[in-house]
Copies of this chain bind each other. A is one copy, B any other.
Amino acid sequence: METTRGAERQRTAAERRRRELLEAADRVVLRDGPQASMNAIAAEAGITKPILYRHFGDKGGLYRALAKRHTDALLSALRAALDAPSERRERVEATLDTYLAAIEARPQVYRFLMHPSDDAAPSPEQGFDVGRHSAPLLRRLGEELGKVIVERVDLGPESEQMARIWGHGIVGMMHAAGDWWLGDRPCSREQLVRSLADLLWGRLAEAGDLPGGQGF
């Protein structure tokens, strides 16, 4: 009765295959961007389409699996920066810098993560399904940051609601500024990090109005 051992071996073989396919998909996405076709990915992996579909269900499945790898990697790097033993402002700057360094190092990956090209659920459900459409990575980062805030910062009553709002807000700030910065590169990474941290540290409230017309 070799059933269990055989099944085991088969399972691990399937998992290894799955990893190979993911790596091939990775290469293609890195080369062709998020609109890489299933045909191209299959060709890169040296096989044909139906195998991909057997492993991942549909294109959304493959992309979700692919995104999870990168998201997990980025998330753990951010967690490390967020857990460093230093002052709050320093940690915030380190986290911003970690994120920006990551997207700077591999812009194609970043682009794929943020723009899965209308992945997953085609969801023929009409009506207002406006949730989930922005990249899942942003949502996840926002939720995680919200958790960190609620458990470390004293925000008084209603702190949980506000912490989640702040989590998503700060992540969005980081993302939008990073996206813009990555396009034109108008300044150094350090300056960007410092400016964003300044914004979070209330410099907008402290700054005086400029003469001529009402202030901001």
Give chain A's interface residues, CB within 8 Å of chain B: 31-32, 34-35, 82-83, 85, 88-89, 91-92, 107-108, 110-111, 114-115, 117-118, 126, 128, 130-134, 138-139, 142, 148-149, 151-155, 158, 161-162, 164-166, 168-177, 179-184, 186-187, 191-192, 195-196, 198-210, 213-216
Contact = CB atoms under 8 A, between A and B. Distances in A.
- Interface of A, secondary structure class, is helix
Nearest to A84: B214
Contact of A174 (B115, B164, B172): B172
A138 B176 CA distance: 8
A201 B210 contact: no
* Copies of this chain assembled into the complex: 2
Given A32-B126, A172-B173, 9 more contacts: A139-B180, A142-B180, A152-B213, A161-B195, A165-B177, A168-B177, A170-B199, A172-B174, A200-B205
